[in-house]
Structure 1
């Protein structure tokens, strides 16, 4: 079992503190769900964990190794951002070889979800099709910990259900941190739930607490 230890994450822009002493532990075999309103800086937190931006303070450790730069995160943490990430004019089947190890190349290539796109280039796909491909490439990548920021955006309920099943299957050997505004889907697959609000990451036990923190209306 591997552990991703995230501690003392702060981020300030000018005099405004947007992340305040964020702490989170994710282990392989678990799915951690992070909820939060628009503007709560979930994406900023993900980018700090992945290493594309620096926190004002941060302590991120993979097992016994402190992660100081992007190279330290290679094959340890993979990140699905909200924006498109795949290069254009490269066939999806060739991108699979770049993202995945030999074991996972066959697994992802055999998925009915991705088969229609294997011989397509990323720039020929619709937004929803591209989201499917990107999400699957990150899930089946070489990394042990997977950060998914809005993986269900613009996808049909049927596709979302299939991807949730895949996440749970892959979480047997990987750790997932996932955020999406479709909170019911996040709640369904997560082993632990957190709410990012006012810069703080709060552990959530049930829907009642989400209502108490004004993330959900009193009646849903």
Structure 2
């Protein structure tokens, strides 16, 4: 079992504090849900964990190794960004997959029913929802112990969301997954641990009632 330990994360942009004393822990075999209103800093937190943004203070550890640079994250942490696409536009999806996945996982992914319609297309020829499916699947099957997913269901049809959800749950048996998405009902159904980012602080949530108390979900 691998463990990702995130502690003492603070981040400000100018005079605006986004994150304060954030702590989060994840281990392989589990899915951690990250909730919070738009603009509260969820993407910034994931970017700090991945290493593309530097916190004002931060302590990130993979097992017994402290991660200081993005190069330290190789084969340890992979990240699906919310907005920018990492797929080259002119290369077929079939040729792109081996750049991110081992030979074994490339074969598994190319044999996956959900991926097969896209294999001989390029990123340029995919709709927004199709591109999101392909990006999410490649990240899920890449050779990293921990996967950060920022809005993986954005623009994806309800039927495809259900398929993607099952694949994520299946892959989480061997990986640790931190997932943030506004489709909270799907995320709640998947999550082993729930975190809420509110007022710059990250809180571990025990049940849905706490999400209602912090006004993230409406009271039933």
Same topology, TM > 0.5 = yes
Corresponding position of 1:19: 19
Q: Shift of residue 167 of structure 1?
A: 0.9
> What are the equivalent positions in structure 2 for 1:12-161 lying under 5 Å apart?
12-83=12-83, 84-161=85-162
Q: Distance in 2 between matches of 1:48 and 1:135?
A: 19
Corresponding position of 1:191: 192
Q: Distance in 2 between matches of 1:149 and 1:48?
A: 13
Q: Distance in 2 between matches of 1:141 and 1:118?
A: 16
Q: Distance in 2 between matches of 1:15 and 1:122?
A: 39
Q: Helix, strand or coil for the counterpart of 2:173?
A: coil
Q: Distance in 1 between matches of 2:56 and 2:124?
A: 36
Structure 1, gaps ≥5 residues long: none
Q: Shift of residue 36 of structure 1?
A: 0.6
Q: Distance in 2 between matches of 1:24 and 1:47?
A: 14
| 2:183 equivalent to 1:171 | no
Residues 21-44 of structure 1: per-residue CA shift (max 9 Å, x gap)? 100110000000001111111000
Q: Helix, strand or coil for the counterpart of 1:59?
A: strand
Q: Distance in 1 between matches of 2:96 and 2:75?
A: 16
Q: How many residues in Structure 1 have an aligned counterpart in Structure 2?
A: 219
Q: Distance in 1 between matches of 2:28 and 2:210?
A: 26
Q: Distance in 2 between matches of 1:2 and 1:21?
A: 23
Corresponding position of 2:205: 204
Q: Shift of residue 87 of structure 1?
A: 1.3
Q: Shift of residue 15 of structure 1?
A: 2.3
Q: Distance in 2 between matches of 1:172 and 1:207?
A: 24
Structure 2, gaps ≥5 residues long: none
Q: Helix, strand or coil for the counterpart of 1:40?
A: coil
Q: Distance in 2 between matches of 1:52 and 1:143?
A: 16
- TM-score between the two structures when normalised by the length of structure 1: 0.98
Deviating 4+ runs (over 3 angstroms): none
Q: Helix, strand or coil for the counterpart of 2:24?
A: strand
Q: Shift of residue 92 of structure 1?
A: 0.2
- TM-score between the two structures when normalised by the length of structure 2: 0.98
Q: Distance in 2 between matches of 1:87 and 1:42?
A: 26
